[in-house]
């Protein structure tokens, strides 16, 4: 019986062969790393899962060292009690009052418990500021015995 001739398919041609080259593979990995880095940089680290937050103990140290702190609670909350010498810019007014915040300094954002400060931080980060939110907020600040003006409702 005569042997059948089988046609060989050349698997070493085209895109497949090109993608098997180590230099090309390394280049693709580098491209992916670059894209991830650029996304993370543009979002202030949020895309990497690295939260820009500090606890009230760290925030108090920063406050003592002169770091600019902004309170994003409501006027009523601020009137009740607040951190001395910390300006109030309610969260809903923050985008329109960015000119009141120094652009060349690290900014700490504080609220009642830490939720609104995260939103405030993200607004500032999107506007090009260096911002960090304070976890635990002024409630924890007060509980730790750090200075306040006024007193919380009992």
Instruction: List CB contacts of 133: < 8 A, sequence separation 6 or more.
Output: 52, 53, 54, 108, 109, 110, 114, 117, 118, 120, 121
At 107, give phi and psi (nearest 5°).
Answer: -115, 130
How far, in Å, CA of 87 to CA of 69, rounded? 7
Active site residue 111: yes
User: Euclidean distance between the first and final Cα of the chain, in Å?
Assistant: 101
Q: Which of 70, 89, 107, 111 is catalytic?
A: 111
How far, in Å, CA of 141 to CA of 55, rounded? 9
The residues that are catalytic are: 111
């Amino acid at each position: 019986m005569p042997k059948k001739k089988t046609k060989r398919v050349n698997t070493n041609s085209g895109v497949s062969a090109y993608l098997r080259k180590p230099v090309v593979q390394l280049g693709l990995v580098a491209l992916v790393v670059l894209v991830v880095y650029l996304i993370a940089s543009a979002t202030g680290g949020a895309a990497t899962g690295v939260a820009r937050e500090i606890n009230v103990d760290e925030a108090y140290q920063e406050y003592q060292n002169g770091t600019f702190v902004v309170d994003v609670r409501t006027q009523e909350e601020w009137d009740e009690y607040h951190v001395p010498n910390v300006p109030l810019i309610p969260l809903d007014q923050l985008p329109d009052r960015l000119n009141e915040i120094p652009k060349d300094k690290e900014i700490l954002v504080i609220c009642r418990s830490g939720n609104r400060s995260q939103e405030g931080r993200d607004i500032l980060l999107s506007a090009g500021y260096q911002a960090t939110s304070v976890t635990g907020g002024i409630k924890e600040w007060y509980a730790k015995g750090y200075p306040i003006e006024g007193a919380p409702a009992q």
